[in-house]
Chains A and B, each alone.
Chain A
Amino acid sequence: MSAISEVFAECRRDKRAAFIPFLSAGDPNLQTTGSLLQALVMGGADIIELGVPFSDPIADGPVIQSASVRALEAGTSLSGILRLVARQRDRLGVPVVLFTYYNPIHVRGVENFAEQAASSGVDGVLCVDLPPDEAGEFIQAMRQHNLDTIFLLAPTSTRDRIAKVQASSTGFVYYVSRTGVTGDQGALPKELVKQARRLRRKLHHPLAVGFGINTPEQVAAVAKVADGVVVGSALVKLVAEHGASPRLAAVLEERVRQLTAPLR
């Protein structure tokens, strides 16, 4: 059983949803990200999603777009991120999922990437613009190195797409709560509860829900119908606001604690 699957099994025993915070790696720089990962764990993270900055993040709203710009300007690279994970993974004690666009992986070669990610201690990879239909080679390489492949489902996914994602995923499936980009500020869509329940019945993987979840109330609502709750932009915004402050880690930890309160 992978470390990610173990986390979900443990949460199921505790009858609670897993909390999965997201941060853009390298924002404002990789060294800071290192200390922030610790803060996420202290605050109650069960799994960490680490965003790999990309020059053209088509699935991201303004908050994560800006974070990517800051990270790239600080010289962040996938190699640097893998080195950070290698230094931190054991100390963190929670699984790390890379949340990335495909091109940085494509350019270094899927096989090379899988090998380097595995040896750095990465647990799983979610490639936001790589649907299972294009992922044959990717999945094969990841399996060989015992890395979980997490794919997305969306409100527009049809029955055959759900089957395809089901067959290609390991660890968990990530349900995008709404048609849109990351960081939506609005209320959760009305259909979310129904859709998540329906998917959870169909899938034999744990289901995590993300995109536009900002408040403890929203975390609580989603936790009722999902196995995991992902919060990204709300945390990345904190990093943007407190980037230079020595209190950033403490502020982040406190916010994660508030967000995970409904799960305890």
Chain B
Amino acid sequence: MARALLRPDAQGYFGPYGGRFVPETLMAPLAELSAAYNRWSRKRTFRNELRDILAHYAGRPTPLYFASRLTEKLGGARVYLKREDLLHTGAHKLNNALGQALLAKTMGKERVIAETGAGQHGVATATASALMGLSCTVYMGAEDCRRQRLNVDRMRLLGAEVVPVESGSRTLKDAINESLRDWVTNVRNTHYILGSVLGPDPYPRMVRDFHRVIGDEARRQLKKQAGTYSPDVAMACVGGGSNAIGLFTAFIEDRKVRLIGVEGGGRGETLGEHAARFDGGSLGVLHGTRTMVLQDREGQIAATHSVSAGLDYPAVGPEHVLLRDLGRVEYTHVSDAEAIAGFQLLSETEGLLPALESAHAIAHAAKIVPHLPKRDIVLINLSGRGDKDVESVLEYLAEHQDDAVDPEIAGVSVHPAVHKWGTPRGGQR
């Protein structure tokens, strides 16, 4: 099984999922990209250069941290955090952006483009472009520009052009549409640094390969720090699914490890109110790949909602769907409210502000860890830091200060915290 998973077939399929559903203009360039990636990713020179940049520029390996206060608070299994929030630029996204930017440079491209949701992939791409002297344009939904303004400013300061996308739901999906339109127009001199395990082949496998360092490191670190290569549970949030695949890949063959992916459950179960593709989605074709998609009966792509911009997307990486079919990974989702509670939980117990994306994994951990034996180990990928989300969290708390606290995450000092800080809109009861 593992071999089949790690190597999609010649057409880029993970079982029945994946493929290359793109306009003809992109087919030859994708074949060229695929060939270049296959060639360079095997070369020692390329691998050494990337490894060197990751170590001395980006800050790998990132630490594995035993979260003792969180463990104590939850009263069950021991919780370890893989600290991708400590990677340069504050999220795992840089692993892939550096890998692809180096590939783009090797291929002789002068310009790169990227889409971004939460802004972390955009910041990572702007950073990699500055480092390698590439011109960089980032497409970002106008709604996301608003809620992740800090990252927009960072990208601009890094020398990238940020283009707010006003079409559709003005979020990640629309940013990908616009990136594909740019790419189809400028494909001769431009490489598209797609930011998740999405899109046409070779992206899902290439992005996965650039991120698998997360799980590979964690496995070795766990052996050193906890005496075992195998956590009982490894979990991560899933938007497109890049940080999750990056963590899971090292453990897929290790059947003792239970793998859990956490999607954005949003604010309700109705189509349009969430980003839980495994629960509310069906098989579809979006952005070049056949996968689980939130859509209506006519095949029109549905709007999504998540408090976290990085999870606010109607499709999921094709490899995840195969992993689900095979029963190797469980997928679940937590609501906006639970994610905010997870954010507060980690902030107050460990002094770590998690990205709202990662806070979904923390929130799910808060539900299951108390029920697991104390000798068990739960490994969570802390995929990014939460500075970018401070405004969103305060805004959420201000709007929801009258809501009842979810009983499942009770025991954590959640929403009332807003009273300590006041609110940006000044609305105390």
Contact = CB atoms under 8 A, between A and B. Distances in A.
B285 interface: yes
B225 interface: no
A77 B298 contact: yes
A193 interface: no
A104 B24 contact: no
Interface in A147-167: 151-158, 161, 165
B29 A79 contact: no
A55 to B, nearest CB: 4
Nearest to B179: A58
B381 interface: no
A213 B95 CA distance: 43
The size bracket of the interface on A is: 35 or more
A179 B186 contact: yes
B299 A59 contact: no
Contacts of B298: 77-79, 104, 107
Of B23, B26, B286, B301, most A-chain CB atoms within 10 Å: B23
B299 A78 contact: yes
B409 to A, nearest CB: 35
A180 interface: yes
B117 to A, nearest CB: 15
Interface stretch (B14-22, B97-105, B418-426): B14-22
A39 to B, nearest CB: 27
B286 A103 contact: yes
Given A107-B282, A179-B184, A59 B23 contact: yes
B24 A55 contact: no
B24 A157 contact: yes
B177 A58 contact: yes
B27 A55 contact: no
B184 A151 contact: no
A153 B28 CA distance: 11
12 contacts: A55-B301, A56-B168, A58-B177, A107-B284, A107-B297, A129-B23, A131-B22, A156-B29, A176-B24, A176-B25, A180-B185, A181-B181
Given A72-B300, A107-B298, A108-B299, A58 B24 contact: no
B28 A158 contact: yes
Contacts of B31: 158
Given A58-B180, A58-B181, A161-B27, A102 B21 contact: yes
A116 to B, nearest CB: 13
B20 to A, nearest CB: 6
A106 interface: yes
Contacts of B285: 102-103, 106, 129
A58 B184 CA distance: 9
A104 B19 contact: no
A156 B22 contact: no
Contacts of A158: 28, 31
B188 interface: yes
A58 B282 contact: no
Interface of A: 54-61, 65, 69, 72, 77-79, 102-108, 128-131, 133-134, 151-158, 161, 165, 176, 179-181
B173 interface: yes
Nearest to B174: A56
A192 B177 CA distance: 26
Contacts of B413: none
Q: Is chain A's binding surface mostly helix, strand, loop or mixed?
A: loop
Nearest to A77: B298
A9 to B, nearest CB: 25
B300 A152 contact: no
B27 A157 contact: yes
A3 to B, nearest CB: 24
Please indicate which of the listed interface residues B11, B21, B24, B299 has the most CB atoms of chain A within 10 Å of its own CB.
B24
A155 B19 CA distance: 22
B299 A106 contact: yes
B88 interface: no
Contact of B27 (A69, A128, A133): A133
Contacts of A161: 24, 27-28
B19 A103 contact: no
Contacts of A69: 167
Interface string B280-291: 001111111010
Contacts of A129: 21-23, 285, 288
Given A103-B286, A107-B298, A134-B19, 16 more contacts: A58-B177, A61-B181, A65-B167, A79-B298, A106-B299, A129-B288, A130-B21, A134-B20, A152-B25, A154-B24, A156-B26, A157-B27, A161-B24, A161-B27, A179-B25, A179-B186
Contacts of B290: 106
Given A58-B181, A180-B184, A181-B181, A107 B27 contact: no
Which of the listed residues B29, B31, B184, B185 has the most CB atoms from chain A within 10 Å of its own CB? B184
A64 to B, nearest CB: 11
A157 B20 contact: no
Contacts of A78: 298-299
B130 interface: no
Interface in B168-207: 168, 173-174, 177, 180-181, 184-188
B293 to A, nearest CB: 8
